[in-house]
Amino acid sequence: MRVLIACGGSGGHLLPGLAVAETLAGRRHQVKLLVSKKSVDQAASSALTGSCAGSAITVQAVGAVGYTGSRGLMRFCVRLAQAVGDCADIYKEFQPDAVLGMGGFTSAPAVMAARWRYRTATLIHESNAVPGKANHWTGKLADHIAVGLPDCAKFFGSKPVTVTGTPIRSALRQGKVPGAHARIGLDPARLTVLVMGGSQGSQAINATLAGALPWLADWKERMQFVHLSGARDEAAVRETYENNGFKATVMNFCQEMELPYSAADLVIARSGAATLTELAAFALPAILIPFPGAGDHQRQNARVFERVGAARIVEQTAADGVPTLGAEQLANEISALLDKESVRVRMAEAARSLAVNDATERNANLVEAHAN
């Protein structure tokens, strides 16, 4: 069987797509990934293809097609038509039996070409509690829809929907890794806070955490950080920890997320669906900071975790159009949770209750069923 998976643009679309690709390749199917030209997409997909035997998975980069509003409608339509044509050319050569769109700007042209040009079986997966623009649109075309959270099913009307959970890579489904602290330069005797802002980092979270460190001075000898900063801020974030006397491992990106997840006692993160899926898999308590530029998606995702007691939400507000996040508030939340192990244990149990351990297999099964 040949499967094309369109999953580029952001970690939230890419990583679940890579997980399904990995599983389908393990079942001896041929998989082609459509990803964006972003360096993060290229690095993550290259790492996957390098780990798979033979040529079970191939990767092709496609251009971005994003809708920015009515003023750019004509340009959007032209680029969308070009992208659909490009996907049709890829299909002519690859001849997929099924196309799976994971949302985002690479997904819509792929699903449209499959549906309109080749009548190929089409599926989409939506990880968020509220569907993104691409999936809201392509959901009308797809033969079947998979969703990560039950809250999302209602948005697709009478279309056939299956709640599958959100796929994660096999390395993240194996549980905590022994010796993870040492492998990333941490002290196993200290409490560890994992800070991350998505696949490309978050300048707002980086800056706020820097401002919070003086408020956490009393914890200096008892805590440490592992911080995924993004490439732009890596040097500055590392210097900030050094200047404030905190032990920290700073990375711009991490290919082996099972290591920081295994070491963490508390996580500070955005609330993208892929991130939350991984936090549930590792049963990690979290302080979630929804990204205000993602519409209401991340806030709704975070509320699912808050509702069961797995996370606390700290809002990033916008004053005069400039997003702001309170350093003192963040420091107080960190201190309160580090000070009460029993609270963290309850939050961890709540996070574990949201985990769907076989989500990757469920999605692979759906693809196989529709292709056949």
Instruction: Dump pLDDT digits (tens) for 290-321.
Output: 988 766 889 999 999 999 999 999 988 765 44
pLDDT in tens, 350-371: 999 999 999 999 999 999 999 9
Mean pLDDT over the full length of the chain: 88
Same domain, 235 and 219: yes
Same domain, 160 and 202: no
Same domain, 335 and 209: yes
Q: Is the pLDDT higher at 331 or at 323?
A: 331
Q: Which amino acid is at 15?
A: L
> Which residues share a beta bridge with 195?
227, 268
Same domain, 149 and 219: no
Q: Is the pLDDT higher at 111 or at 326?
A: 111
pLDDT in tens, 219-253: 999 999 999 998 889 999 999 999 999 999 999 88
Same domain, 322 and 250: yes
- What percent of the chain stands above pLDDT 70? 88
- CB of 266 closer than 8 Å to CB of 287: yes
* Average pLDDT of the residues in 207-213: 92
| Rounded Cα gap, residues 84 and 86, in angstroms | 5
pLDDT in tens, 113-125: 998 778 899 999 9
Same domain, 278 and 135: no
Same domain, 106 and 248: no
Residue 50 has pLDDT above 60, yes or no: no
Q: How confident is the model at residue 30 (pLDDT cuts 50, 70, 90)?
A: very high
Global pTM? 0.86
Q: What's the structural domain count of the chain?
A: 2
Same domain, 133 and 205: no
Give the distance, in angstroms, between the CA of residue 368 and the centroid of all CA atoms in the same chain. Answer: 24
Same domain, 15 and 138: yes
Q: In this structure, what CATH number is given to the domain that contains residue 43?
A: 3.40.50.2000
And the tokens for 99?
């196309």
Q: Is the pLDDT higher at 372 or at 156?
A: 156
pLDDT of residue 228: 95
- CB of 269 closer than 8 Å to CB of 254: no
Same domain, 260 and 191: yes
Residue 75 has pLDDT above 90, yes or no: no
What is the domain extent for residue 72?
2-166+357-371
CA distances, 49 to each of 7, 54, 157, 171, 204 (Å): 15, 9, 37, 15, 33
Residue 200 has pLDDT above 70, yes or no: no
Same domain, 58 and 178: no
Q: How many CB atoms lie within 10 A of CB 99?
A: 32
Same domain, 318 and 215: yes
Residue 41 has pLDDT above 90, yes or no: no
